[in-house]
A and B are shown apart, each in its own frame.
Chain A
Amino acid sequence: AQKVTQAQTEISVVEKEDVTLDCVYETRDTTYYLFWYKQPPSGELVFLIRRNSFDEQNEISGRYSWNFQKSTSSFNFTITASQVVDSAVYFCALSDITIYNQGGKLIFGQGTELSVKP
């Protein structure tokens, strides 16, 4: 069965600190996608990144970076020089794309609530 684990329930940092959010996943599929979504206090989840299982190259987007390691089934997310506006709940998710009617079904982790204090 597919599963996503975000062991950190809450993280609190001071502005300008770097912070890493951990994500570990389980799947028997060889082809899959991994995602990160951000949920600010307003409630709507916002897509941040998608990674397919064949691409282990790390990615950087501004202050955000992602480290995908298939060997450890991890897809960690780092925010560099955190800001108060980064405060939100962050979800890691997994999608199986091998079966047509199952594709697009995102399996979410429990989320990590990040609090950045000024």
Chain B
Amino acid sequence: EAGVVQSPRYKIIEKKQPVAFWCNPISGHNTLYWYLQNLGQGPELLIRYENEEAVDDSQLPKDRFSAERLKGVDSTLKIQPAELGDSAVYLCASSREWSTGELFFGEGSRLTVL
């Protein structure tokens, strides 16, 4: 079974530029999560999808961040414009059901904003 796939693994951009991250969850996993992980910290939830519906986006900074999960499979997380403080690792995870807490994570996309 293929794991959660994320791309790109690394991205370096200048501030005020846009950036997008892509995630392909494990086949059959209805729940998809985007987490933000700052250096030396634990992951923090940005948004959770049940199929194509965003059911928890309370932590997503909506002025510059947006996400979509068309057709309830792949997902894209976008930042526009990026700020220096957005430098972090963006983790995507999926699970069969939201309630189990057993999440399968991708390797993450490391963003550096200069």
Contact = CB atoms under 8 A, between A and B. Distances in A.
Interface in B28-52: 31, 33, 40-45, 48
A110 B38 CA distance: 10
Given A44-B105, A104-B31, A50 B44 contact: no
A106 B103 contact: yes
Among the interface residues A43, A46, A109, A110, which one has the most CB atoms of the partner chain B within 10 A?
A43
B10 to A, nearest CB: 11
Contacts of B108: 43-44
A54 B108 CA distance: 33
State the 10 A-B residue pairs at the shortest beta-carbon distance, nearest first.
A108-B42, A104-B98, A45-B105, A43-B107, A44-B105, A43-B108, A95-B101, A44-B107, A47-B102, A33-B101
Interface of A: 4, 9, 33, 35, 42-47, 50, 91, 93, 95, 97, 101-106, 108-111
Interface of B: 3-4, 31, 33, 40-45, 48, 55-56, 89, 91, 93, 95, 97-108
28 contacts: A43-B107, A43-B108, A44-B91, A44-B105, A44-B106, A44-B107, A45-B43, A45-B93, A45-B105, A46-B105, A93-B101, A101-B56, A103-B98, A104-B31, A104-B33, A104-B48, A104-B98, A104-B101, A105-B48, A106-B43, A106-B45, A108-B43, A109-B42, A110-B40, A110-B41, A110-B42, A111-B41, A111-B42
